[in-house]
A = this chain, B = another copy of it.
Amino acid sequence: MSNSRVELPVLAPEVVPCCPPLTSAELSEADAVKTAAMFKALGDPVRLRLFSKVASHPGGEACVCDVQDVGVSQPTVSHHLKKLREAGLLASERRGTWVYYRVEPSVLAALARLLDLNR
């Protein structure tokens, strides 16, 4: 098969940037839908721990085997990582046997700016 695969599968383009601080102006309905999807992805304890494990892992990335000890089954871990990827918070890449996940910094920064208090 052609090896022109560029990988980086999901992460739809309209998920990326978005929005001034919440304290400075109210969100449009469309922006609220996009942004709420990201918060929703972080709104489950297991997903938040998985995200935290990836984000804090040395080198900025972690394979599933590094993070899957969160008290649920392997398919459930895979399911949650997929949700985080679909929300644009994580990116994944297969290298040999393992699949590595890393944080999408721009998206995380957008969320942080959204919550920023010092206007």
**A interface with B by C-beta (< 8 Å):** 22-27, 29, 32-33, 35-37, 39-49, 51-53, 55-56, 71, 103, 105, 108-109, 111-112, 115-117
Instruction: Say whether, besides A43-B40, A47-B36, A52 and B22 are in contact (CB < 8 Å).
Output: yes
> How far is it, in angstroms, between the C-alpha of A40 and the C-alpha of B41 when the chains are bound?
8
Of B29, B52, B111, the contact of A49 (CB 8 Å cutoff): B29
Of B22, B29, B56, B71, the contact of A22 (CB 8 Å cutoff): B56
Per assembly, the copies of the chain total 2
- B115:A23 contact, CB within 8 angstroms: no
**A108 — which chain B residues lie within 8 A by C-beta?**
115, 117
- B111:A55 contact, CB within 8 angstroms: no
